[in-house]
Amino acid sequence: MRYIAAIFVFFKLVNLSQAYFVTVDAHAEECFFDKVEQGTKLGLMFETSEGGFLDIDVKIVGPDGGIIYQGERESTGKYTFSAHKSGVYTYCFSNQMSTMTPKVVMFNMEIGEAPSADKDEGDHNKMEVMIKELTTALTGVKHEQEYMTVRDRIHHGINEATNSRVVLWSIFEAVVLIAMTIGQVYYLKRFF
């Protein structure tokens, strides 16, 4: 029975943290909501992966309407806090500053376990604590892999753009050299 409860807790915690990709159109705002109890640990990690200068406005609003966190033109960020009040917390990504470029944002909303009043110690709780620690470590690895995948895609795009510019510049230089050569031959033939 203990093992079934421990496995249930493990899978429940793994499912609480997932990565999402959202496209935020120009002059638009996308918001997401989490209903939590007071004292629950919340976290938001985001990375702008496509669009414009890879920047986005971020805002976290509490259930009382107070702004917990607000950032402007950020490309990446991590913010963790404890819920000061029970209710719905709102995470918003805004692309109001962009005139025509949509942005693609990868983000994770992490929700910890609500604090419990029971603090029984024993083998059963030790097993649950170990499973929670393992789950937290696995979730961290998963988030790091997702973050590295997004960073790899961004850098690949930058490398491809740089490569195409170098090729275009080389073609331009070759055309100029050929034009100068033809011009000099024509000028020397005319001179003699």
5 located within any domain: no
Q: Cβ distance 115 to 57 under 8 Å? A: no
Number of domains in the chain: 2
CA distance 128 to 136: 12
Question: Does 3 reside within a domain?
Answer: no
Q: Nearest Cα to 26, choosing from 47, 49, 55, 46? A: 55
Residues 24 and 100 in one domain: yes
So what's the pLDDT on residue 118? 57
Task: List the structure tokens of 135.
Answer: 């789950």
Residues 108, 36 share a domain: yes
Provide the β-strand partners of residue 78.
45
7 — pLDDT class (breaks 50, 70, 90): very low
Q: Which domain holds residue 99?
A: 15-114
* Higher-scoring residue by pLDDT: 120, 176: 176
Q: Assess whether 96 and 161 both reside in one domain.
A: no
Sheet of 41-50, strands arranged across: 19-24, 103-111, 41-50, 76-82
Do 110 and 164 fall within a single domain? no
* Cα–Cα distance for residue pair 18/26, rounded to 1 Å: 25
Tens digit of each residue's pLDDT (9 = 90 or more) over 103-162: 988 888 888 777 765 555 556 788 887 887 888 788 878 878 887 887 888 888 889 989
Give the HSE-up count for residue 18: Cα atoms under 13 Å, Cβ half-sphere: 7
Stated pTM of the model: 0.62
More reliable by pLDDT, 136 or 79? 79
